[in-house]
Amino acid sequence: MSASSISDIKLDQEKLHQLDDFIDGMSNQKGELISILHKAQEIFGYLPKELQQHIAKKLNIPVSKVYGVVSFYSFFNMEPKGEHPISVCMGTACYVRGAEKVLNEFKKQLNLEVGETTPDGKFSLLSLRCVGACGLAPVVMVGEKVYGHVTPEMVKEIIKEYK
Amino acid sequence: MSKIKSFEELKQLRKKVLTHMDIREKGDHIEELVEVRVAMATCGIAAGAREVMNIFVNKIADQGLNNIVVTQTDCMGYCYAEPTVEVRVPGKEPVVFGKVDEEKIQKIIDQYIKKGELLDGVIPMTHKEMED
Amino acid sequence: MSKYKMHVLVCGGTGCISSESEKIVKNIQECLIQHKLEEEVQVVQTGCFGFCEKGPIVKVLPDNTFYVQVKPDDAIEIVEEHIVKGRKVDRLLYKDPGSKKAIEDSKHMDFYKKQMRIALRNCGFVNPNNIEEYIARNGYYALGKVLTEMTPEQVIDEIKKSGLRGRGGGGFPTGLKWEFSRKSKSDKKYVVCNADEGDPGAFMDRSILEGDPHSIVEAMAICGYAIGADEGKVYIRAEYPLAIQRLQKAMNDAEEYGFLGDHILGTDFSFHIEIRYGAGAFVCGEETALIHSMEGERGEPTIKPPFPSESGFWGKPTNVNNVETFANIPIILLKGADWFRKIGTKKSPGTKVFALAGKINNVGLIEVPMGTTLREVIFDIGGGIKDGKKFKAVQTGGPSGGCLTEKDLDTPIDFDTLVEKGSMMGSGGMIVMDEDDCMPSVAKFYLEFTEEESCGKCTPCRIGTKRLSELLKKITSGQGTEAHLQELRRLSVVIKETALCGLGQTAPNPVLSTLNNFEEEYIAHVKDHQCPAGQCTALLQYKIDPETCVGCTVCARVCPVNAITGERKKPHSIDQKICIKCGSCYDRCPTHAIEKR
């Protein structure tokens, strides 16, 4: 991992082809920017600067427009996520049932702030707004797996499962 | 080509699939229905309770008796009289019938449930007395 | 064809699936095969039953037995005891919290007694992936009736007569909205379903889409016919994969059966639906912002008029309704406007779905007639406050709403009464708070949310919410003054009056309503530098009660900054200058000798 922010990232050609095919297959590219970004994030996992430039060129629109949309929506990431993204739900239901304490415990255990990834690329810490499983509040998701009724004491055990 | 080409066809399909949901619809307002409870303990099953249940369910379906629902219950304690069923008509005391077979099932439906007449083979003991 | 004798319904909502309900289905099916009962017992994965607190839920029919908190391993017992031998599995039955008695039939649970399910009529009842089950529940019958027996004007009249109001928050009359769209002249019109449920803590739209997707497909087609549109779009959060999957399946099946596509049911009416993904922006719940987002732009709102019904998606007349609103449409057309008007209150007919969450015993999704009181919702249906604590407030309307207190408990809830009380219906999120919740902190939580979600287009909202949230941060961290309270109020009013869209105009509501209802709590924060609820860490002091302390040294050992000193077997004490208020000692003390205040 030596992806510094100064030197450009080399995008995987095969993945780029896959994305280009998707874009070419659209009948009406006007107005499809968000769908294209969804697809791009699905293929690459995140939307680095170079990928946004590529999409802008392909659609013949300014990069600023692509960046404007990417930065507007919380679903789009410009940084790669860790192998196991840990998302702590900070919806209201989880908040009043103690999600903040759980989030703080994750911060402490992983030595991360929200939005950061561990140096070994294993974990990233995220907060999200309501997965809709409020009956299980507070909720934590690791990848696709949902943990319900999480207490700060359980945090260590959850992390251990993925080490 | 789409499967349904007119409102008429939709009505027909609806009629056909309606029965698929019978059990769920009935469960939704079970207290208003006549409930036939088949005793399903080991001795009941050995004596043919599952068979009795099947006959009940089929007869009800064939005769379109939408006000009757068949459920199961555990041992009622009348091992000598298995298979037994308890019939609960809304607003009446439950009645238990013993040694139920196909012929009796028809009688239970025709005479007891439809007309309210009592018939032979009733186990002379209501739940109330048992609990006392 | 086999005749099933029993149905076993297993909840397949997101909450219960998170608790392995799919494995329960699999285990029950396997166990039935072992007992050669697979022909007699049908296992169905349904949508949400609403009783999320005690999920996963398994319901056995026709005897209506309601099992709660079922684990995959319990499948064997349910099959071998209940299904084979007719013995209900007592330990899995719901126990009434008051009498501690097991309740066999879900109808007798307090949670369901006062509910009335219209929008949720099929949730937890049908298999959402099976179009024929929907048809058996009179599905697509309203569409058939509308297309063959009614003119578009008659449809709109019926909806107008029903008095149905938009369930997404504003409460605008649906029939009127349809009429505006109908009257706009254009070669192309659109029907949009707003499924961008952004209120954190509300999950009714997701549950309807997961549990009864066909009702939305049917309602959109009806709306298309009424306003003269041939294209529909569902704008849905990308964070709802299960809802997307079930909706897509419903759309495909509807097309296969001829309820979508060209010449529906042999008529001249054609209608197509497409899914558009949201990407996580609360402001996109606002209809103009939503439309811009569907066009691939930043989801920024624009000034109304023009309303979407005149100029919406790609400048064409567009009718936007929320999921729950659509869910009401087919049944209104089946049973008639008069039937609908009899339910609820005069100005707000019908029912409303609420997502009950927070410090309440029965977290879940409920539907009650409008006009039900908060007391009935929170104490009868919701089972009261968790852990026997005292009720403090309930927040309705999410980040745009306000909180209601003890004195509002007997107010009948509808669109207008909630606004009168300084809150709003919103999408129907209801977050219950108890004595441990600090109201300034709650206001801060919501303002941090709106600050983050403000799109930045207009200054009052972009900068105003940031200033509000900064003020609240000061107040909750002990740096607040009484002047700050006045500033909070002044700024709130300015934002309300000047912001461009609904998000900004309602953003100060959580501040104003907590200020109005809990002023003394704010004053305690700024004047006495105390947090009465004991939540604001910066205002807390931890103290050891020398009477209760046994000198076990546990606290001294867990303290990360060595602020606690004392001899073994003698009372310890905390040096307030060193203490960082992490609460470790408080959590660990075996004799509860540490006080927090």
- C375-385 pLDDT tens trace: 999 999 999 99
What pLDDT is recorded for position C296?
93
Beta carbons within 10 angstroms of residue A26's beta carbon: 13
Model confidence band, residue C359 (pLDDT cutoffs 50, 70, 90) = very high
Q: Residue C345 falls within a domain, yes or no?
A: no
Residue of B nearest to C265 (CA): B6
Residue C402 bridge partners (DSSP): C396
pLDDT-flagged residues of chain B (< 50): 126-132
In this structure, the answer to whether residues C514 and C560 fall within a common structural domain is no
Please name the amino acid found at residue B62.
D
What pLDDT is recorded for position C14?
85
- C133-169 pLDDT tens trace: 999 999 999 999 999 999 999 999 999 999 999 998 7
Would you call B38 helix, strand, or coil by DSSP? strand
Q: State the complex-level ipTM.
A: 0.89
Q: Work out the minimum CA distance from A65 to partner chain C, whole angstroms.
A: 8
Nearest to A129 among C200, C206, C296 (CB): C200
What pLDDT is recorded for position B125?
54
Model confidence band, residue A8 (pLDDT cutoffs 50, 70, 90) = low
Q: Which of A75, A77, A55, A76 is closest to A66 using CA atoms?
A: A55
Q: Residue C116 falls within a domain, yes or no?
A: no
Whether the predicted pLDDT of C2 surpasses 70? no
Please name the amino acid found at residue B114.
K
Q: Which chain B residues are Cβ-neighbours of C133 within 8 angstroms?
A: 17, 20-21
Specify whether the CB–CB gap between C18 and A149 falls below 8 A: no
Q: Which chain A residues are Cβ-neighbours of C197 within 8 angstroms?
A: 132
Specify whether the CB–CB gap between C79 and C35 falls below 8 A: yes
Domain edges within chain A: 13-72, 84-161
Residue C232 bridge partners (DSSP): C191, C273
Distance CA C30, CA A59 (A): 52
Domain edges within chain B: 26-131
What pLDDT is recorded for position B129?
42
- Strand order in A140-142's β-sheet? A123-128, A84-89, A140-142, A145-147
CB–CB of A92 and C295 under 8 A? no
Whether C355 has its CB under 8 Å from any CB of chain A: the answer is yes
Using CA atoms, how far residue C287 sits from C244, C312, C313, C320, in Å, is 20, 9, 10, 7
pLDDT (mean) for C454-465: 95
What pLDDT is recorded for position B124?
61
What pLDDT is recorded for position C198?
81
**Nearby residues of C132 by Cβ (< 8 Å), 6 or more positions away:** B13, B17, B20
What pLDDT is recorded for position B127?
46
Share of chain A above pLDDT 90, in %: 64
pLDDT (mean) for A44-64: 94
CB contact burial C429-466 (16+ within 10 A = b; e otherwise): bbbbbbeebbbbbbbbbbbbbbbebbbebbebbeebbb
Beta carbons within 10 angstroms of residue C24's beta carbon: 29
Residue at a domain's end among C378, C409, C434: C434
**B26-131 to CATH, choices 3.40.50.300, 3.40.30.10, 3.40.50.11780, 3.40.50.1220:** 3.40.30.10
**C470: domain range?**
439-526
Q: What is the CATH number of the domain that holds C55?
A: 3.40.30.10
Model confidence band, residue C553 (pLDDT cutoffs 50, 70, 90) = very high
B92: left (phi over 0), alpha (psi -120 to 50) or beta: beta
Question: Tokens for C488?
Answer: 């909070």
What pLDDT is recorded for position C555?
93
Whether C133 has its CB under 8 Å from any CB of chain B: the answer is yes
Whether C174 has its CB under 8 Å from any CB of chain A: the answer is no
| DSSP-assigned letters across all residues of C230-253 | SEEEEEEETT-HHHHHHHHHHHHH
Residue of C nearest to A90 (CA): C200
Whether the predicted pLDDT of C585 surpasses 60? yes
Q: Which chain C residues are Cβ-neighbours of A76 within 8 angstroms?
A: 279
What pLDDT is recorded for position B1?
59
Alpha carbon B24 to its chain's center? 14
Q: Work out the minimum CA distance from B24 to partner chain C, whole angstroms.
A: 6
DSSP secondary structure letter of residue A146: E
Q: Which chain B residues are Cβ-neighbours of C107 within 8 angstroms?
A: 31
Q: Residue C535 falls within a domain, yes or no?
A: no
More confident residue, C495 or C52: C495
Whether C63 has its CB under 8 Å from any CB of chain B: the answer is yes
Q: Which chain A residues are Cβ-neighbours of C207 within 8 angstroms?
A: 132
Whether B58 has its CB under 8 Å from any CB of chain C: the answer is yes
What pLDDT is recorded for position C436?
92
Q: What is the CATH number of the domain that holds C545?
A: 3.30.70.20
Specify whether the CB–CB gap between C287 and C503 falls below 8 A: no
Nearest to C136 among B9, B18, B57 (CB): B18
More confident residue, C447 or A3: C447
In this structure, the answer to whether residues C152 and C268 fall within a common structural domain is yes
What pLDDT is recorded for position A1?
40
In this structure, the answer to whether residues C264 and C322 fall within a common structural domain is yes
Residue C354 bridge partners (DSSP): C366
Task: Mutation target for A interface from C14, C18, C272: give the one with most A CBs within 10 A.
Answer: C18
List chains adjacent to chain B, taking adjacency as at least 3 C-beta pairs closer than 8 Å.
C
Which range is least confidently modeled, B90-104, C333-347, C468-482, C506-520? B90-104
CB–CB of C281 and A73 under 8 A? yes
Whether A23 has its CB under 8 Å from any CB of chain C: the answer is no
| Tally of residues, chain A | 163
What pLDDT is recorded for position B92?
85
Distance CA A94, CA C477 (A): 22
Residue at a domain's end among C340, C368, C402: C340
Residue range A84-161 in CATH 3.40.30.10:
yes
**Biggest CA-to-CA distance, chain B:** 66
Number of domains chain C is built from? 5
Q: What is the CATH number of the domain that holds C367?
A: 3.10.20.600
Nearest to A69 among C18, C53, C297 (CB): C297
Using CA atoms, how far residue C364 sits from A134, A138, C52, C349, in Å, is 8, 14, 5, 23
Using CA atoms, how far residue C137 sits from B9, B17, B125, C455, in Å, is 16, 9, 41, 43
CB–CB of C256 and B30 under 8 A? no
pTM (predicted TM-score): 0.91
Nearest to C136 among B11, B14, B73 (CB): B14
